[in-house]
């Protein structure tokens, strides 16, 4: 109704986001024990855009450390920018949560940018506070910046696990955090997310908050007023109640998937604090062969692990995003055809 009347119509808005939404986001962080200033919050058209666009404020000759396997946008955007990429190996031995120690050979590499995703896409694995503290300390010691993808933070049920990197001391001096309404509140088509760039974050004497603000005011005209009002409603009492219900529903779906895999004796991770389950393909089957097998024998589709990097070979991602009926049916079919392999 506001947009239909001349006296309340909104034209170009603030590139950083309307104050009402940034204030609501700040309140959401306060519940996590994280204190932010509204000026550190940037509303955008989604985490995917920001994860690529943030590179505008970094030098093209930076060296980037990226997990393998991981969300492909991290790799592709840096390839398009011509940056040097170094991969850190995720595997079953480290539960696909590489750390800056013996699991990752980064000690003799001058790393400028580090990508972390927790809860992880595709593996569903989640860093605990001690593990995340190792990365924060590494970044501080090496003058590196962590780009922390927290798109799935709302799925974390274990309160001992960090839902924001800023729950780790010192992170405001070395990390930028990216969040999404798509995974939290189903904003996949309306497009809205937000990025946090603390004032304490300074690189080579320059405020990254000011650089990002300059970039956004130059290349971005903001998210529509209507969408931002919808995003504000996410943080209302009713909004939080509905989201909690939806997340519990999807995590129950994940439980159904996990139970089926457990009964088959298949190794997997994720599913408890994430909508994704990452499993080892039975009988060491290549992931694309397993994809074909499931599709042809059971009419069940998942995502071959190789789509997320070379270390995804031999692994497979299943998603809890679906109706209860479809998940139950899919896992019944999955179990039937996989038993034929075992």
pLDDT of res. 13: 76
Q: Which residues pair with 269 in a beta bridge?
A: 278
pLDDT of amino acid 342: 87
Pairwise CA distance, residues 43 & 29, whole Å: 14
Question: Residue 197: which of 239, 234, 147, 231 has the closest Cα?
Answer: 147
CA–CA separation, 49 and 52 (whole Å): 5
Residue 19: count of CB within 10 angstroms of its CB: 11
pLDDT in the model for residue 190: 82
Cα first-last separation, the chain: 60
The DSSP code sequence of 226-285 is HHHHHHHHHTSHHHHHHHHHHHHHHHHHHHHHHHHHHHHT--EEESSSSSEEEEEPGGG-
| pLDDT per residue of the chain (342 residues) written in tens, 0 to 9 | 676 676 767 767 788 999 999 999 999 999 999 999 999 999 999 899 999 999 999 999 999 999 999 999 999 999 999 999 999 999 999 999 999 975 565 667 789 999 999 999 999 999 999 999 999 999 999 999 999 999 999 999 999 999 999 999 999 999 999 999 988 888 777 889 999 999 999 999 999 999 999 999 999 988 999 999 999 999 999 999 999 999 999 999 999 999 999 999 999 999 999 999 999 999 999 999 999 999 999 999 999 999 999 999 999 999 999 999 999 999 999 999 999 998
Single out the residue of 25, 16, 35 nearest to residue 240, CA to CA.
Answer: 25
Question: Of 176, 90, 179, nearest to 139 (Cα)?
Answer: 176
Length of the chain measured in residues? 342
Q: Give the residue among 341, 135, 324, 171 at the shortest CA–CA distance from 316.
A: 341
Give the count of beta carbons closer than 10 Å to the beta carbon of residue 182.
18
| pLDDT at site 295 | 98
Domains of the chain with bracketed CATH: 2-235 (3.40.640.10), 238-339 (3.90.1150.10)
Return the pLDDT at 291. 98
Cα–Cα distance, 10 to 298 (Å, whole number)? 51
Q: What is the DSSP letter of 102?
A: T
- pLDDT for 183: 85
């Amino acid at each position: 109704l506001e947009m239909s009347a001349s006296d309340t119509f909104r034209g170009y808005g603030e590139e950083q986001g309307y104050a009402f939404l940034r204030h609501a986001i700040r309140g959401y962080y306060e519940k996590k024990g994280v204190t932010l200033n509204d000026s550190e919050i940037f509303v955008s058209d989604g985490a995917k855009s920001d994860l690529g666009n943030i590179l505008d404020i970094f030098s093209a000759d930076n060296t980037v450390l990226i997990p393998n396997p991981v969300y492909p946008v991290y790799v592709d955007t840096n390839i398009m920018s011509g940056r040097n990429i170094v991969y850190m190996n995720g595997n079953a031995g480290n539960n696909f949560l590489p750390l800056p120690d013996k699991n990752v050979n980064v000690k003799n590499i001058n790393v400028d940018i580090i990508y972390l995703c927790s809860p992880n896409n595709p593996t569903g694995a989640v860093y605990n506070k001690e593990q995340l503290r190792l990365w924060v300390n590494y970044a501080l010691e090496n003058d590196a910046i962590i780009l922390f993808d927290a798109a799935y933070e709302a799925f974390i049920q274990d309160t001992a696990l960090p839902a924001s990197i800023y729950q780790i001391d010192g992170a405001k001096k070395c990390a930028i955090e990216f969040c999404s309404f798509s995974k939290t509140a189903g904003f996949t088509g309306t497009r809205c997310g937000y990025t946090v760039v603390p004032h304490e974050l300074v690189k080579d004497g320059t405020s990254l908050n000011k650089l990002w603000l300059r970039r956004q005011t130059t290349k971005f005209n903001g998210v529509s007023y209507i969408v931002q009002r919808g995003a504000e409603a996410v943080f209302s009492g009713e909004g939080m109640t509905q989201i909690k219900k939806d997340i519990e529903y999807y995590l129950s779906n994940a439980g159904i998937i996990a139970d089926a895999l457990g009964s088959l004796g298949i190794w997997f991770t994720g599913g408890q604090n994430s909508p994704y389950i990452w499993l080892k393909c039975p009988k060491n089957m290549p992931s694309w062969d397993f994809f074909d097998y499931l599709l042809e024998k059971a009419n069940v589709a998942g995502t071959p692990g190789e789509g997320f990097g070379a270390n995804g070979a031999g692994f497979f991602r299943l998603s809890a995003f679906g109706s209860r009926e479809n998940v139950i049916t899919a896992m019944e079919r999955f179990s039937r055809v996989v038993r034929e392999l075992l």
